[in-house]
């Protein structure tokens, strides 16, 4: 007997992020996996709220600075604060969350009444990355990074290679959720009609070499000589330049199309500008999980031993051959 058409459409229905997380949890068969999928789900709920606030920000007075400077010495935007509050509110009540760390908070937040269950997690995040794009309606993002935490080790920071989940949300023409649980990288697009993130295509694989670089070229004169030499080689080879000024938007392009994203050391920021724990590590792991490479210029980002929540690190990530060419140029100078 022929299968009714309605059953076929149910079977081929696109997978939502919730179903994807449930499937991952079933495959792992552990209480820890259950907590982890709930935590990622909390991040996704918060980012839907952030996306909604961003859509109307030019109409409801949510743009502009709030007159406070964060621990990085940067002016906080109203939406930085709103995004941070939405993430903390969603995460601090989830089972298994014992520590939160945010770009917008000076210190780690230890969740005192955490229901610890079988597994305990730290969630580190940049609530609104690229916030200098807000006032012009440009793309911005949220980045998150999750670790397991041993009892009594709540204040200890771990190297990026110990992450158990990481991802970002790009708020652009679409709201796009990209994540890894350590078995490849998957992409989901928010369907605004139903409010679900829906899986888009196959797991992402970054091309071995790209045709563009993404760096703030206005700083070129103060980059170490190896970066200048590498960029000259790229130009000679016909590369294009693409730079949105929001790491999430720039890394998303590199992830899909290949190439290299960099924030090198500069005279003003000798250790680079980007933060290890909630920018470089999660983005670096995603790129590695898609088959690319993520380097400080001297070695793998994910091996860096963290000393503080807000520490900065030089970042170069993207197509494997492009990152290798940069490392060779740096080693030769």
Give the footprint of Mg ion on this chain (CB under 5 A): 126, 129
C-alpha–C-alpha distance, residues 279 and 309, integer Å: 11
Cβ at position 20, least distance to ligand AHM in Å: 27
Residue 149 corresponds to which tokens in the numbers above? Answer: 């935490």
Cβ at position 165, least distance to Mg ion in Å: 19
Cβ at position 246, least distance to ligand AHM in Å: 4
Q: Maximum Cα–Cα distance for the chain, whole Å?
A: 73
Q: Report the residue number, 160 or 272, with the smaller CB distance to ligand AHM.
A: 272
Q: Report the residue number, 74 or 154, with the smaller CB distance to ligand AHM.
A: 74
246 contact choice in ligand AHM, Mg ion, none (CB below 5 to 8 Å, kind-dependent): ligand AHM
One-character DSSP codes across 230-290: HHHHHHHTT-EE---S-HHHHHHHHHHH--EEEE---SS-TT-SSBIIIIIHHHHHHHHHT
Conformational region of residue 300, where left means phi above 0, alpha means psi within -120 to 50, and beta covers everything else: beta
Cβ at position 308, least distance to ligand AHM in Å: 16
C-alpha–C-alpha distance, residues 246 and 130, integer Å: 4
Compose the 90-109 pattern: x for residues touching ligand AHM by CB under 6 A, - for all others.
Answer: -------------x------
Q: Report the residue number, 107 or 115, with the smaller CB distance to Mg ion.
A: 107
Indicate which single residue of 242, 273, 310, 312 sits in contact with ligand AHM (rule: CB under 6 A).
273
Cβ at position 67, least distance to ligand AHM in Å: 16
Distance of CA 209 to the CA centre of its chain: 21
Q: Which residues contact 221 (CB under 8 A, 6 or more apart)?
A: none
Give the interface size with ligand AHM as a residue count (CB under 6 A). 12
Q: Report the residue number, 279 or 288, with the smaller CB distance to Mg ion.
A: 279
Residue 110 DSSP class: E
273 contact choice in ligand AHM, Mg ion, none (CB below 5 to 8 Å, kind-dependent): ligand AHM
User: Which 239-268 residues touch ligand AHM, going by CB under 6 A?
Assistant: 245-247, 263
C-alpha–C-alpha distance, residues 56 and 223, integer Å: 38
User: Which 115-154 residues touch ligand AHM, going by CB under 6 A?
Assistant: 126, 129-131
74 touches ligand AHM (CB under 6 A) = yes
245 contact choice in Mg ion, ligand AHM, none (CB below 5 to 8 Å, kind-dependent): ligand AHM
**Residue 118 near residue 143, CB atoms below 8 Å:** no
Q: Report the residue number, 18 or 72, with the smaller CB distance to ligand AHM.
A: 72
Strands (E) across the chain are located at: 65-69, 75-77, 97-102, 109-110, 121-129, 140-148, 165-171, 175-180, 185-191, 196-199, 212-214, 240-241, 260-263, 293-295, 315-318
Q: Which residues make up the interface to ligand AHM (CB under 6 A)?
A: 74, 103, 126, 129-131, 216, 245-247, 263, 273
């Amino acid at each position: 007997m022929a299968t009714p058409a309605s059953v076929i459409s149910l079977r081929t229905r696109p997978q939502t992020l919730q179903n994807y997380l449930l499937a991952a949890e079933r495959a792992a068969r552990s209480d820890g996996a259950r907590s982890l999928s709930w935590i990622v789900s909390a991040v996704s709920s918060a980012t839907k709220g952030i996306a909604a606030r961003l859509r109307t920000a030019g109409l409801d007075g949510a743009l502009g600075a709030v007159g406070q400077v964060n621990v990085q010495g940067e002016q906080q935007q109203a939406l930085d604060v709103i995004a941070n509050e939405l993430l903390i509110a969603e995460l601090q009540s989830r089972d298994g969350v014992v520590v939160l760390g945010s770009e917008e908070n000076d210190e780690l937040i230890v969740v005192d009444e955490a229901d610890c269950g079988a597994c305990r997690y730290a969630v580190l995040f940049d609530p609104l990355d690229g916030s200098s794009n807000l006032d012009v309606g440009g793309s911005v993002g949220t980045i998150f990074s999750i670790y397991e935490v041993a009892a009594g080790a709540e204040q200890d920071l771990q190297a990026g290679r110990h992450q158990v989940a990481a991802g970002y949300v790009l708020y652009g023409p679409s709201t796009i959720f990209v994540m890894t649980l350590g078995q490849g990288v998957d992409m989901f697009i928010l369907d605004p009609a139903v409010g679900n993130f829906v899986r888009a295509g196959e797991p992402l694989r970054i091309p071995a070499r790209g045709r563009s670089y993404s760096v703030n070229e206005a700083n070129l004169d103060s980059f170490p000589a190896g970066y200048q030499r590498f960029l000259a080689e790229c130009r000679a080879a016909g590369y294009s330049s693409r730079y949105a000024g929001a790491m999430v938007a720039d890394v998303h392009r590199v992830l899909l199309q290949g190439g290299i994203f960099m924030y090198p050391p500069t005279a003003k920021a000798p250790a680079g500008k980007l933060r290890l724990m909630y920018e470089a590590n999660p983005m670096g792991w995603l790129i590695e999980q898609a088959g690319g490479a993520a380097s400080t210029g001297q070695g793998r980002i994910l091996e860096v031993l963290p000393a503080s929540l807000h520490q900065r690190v030089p970042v170069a990530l993207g197509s494997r051959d492009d990152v290798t060419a940069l490392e060779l140029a740096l080693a030769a100078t």
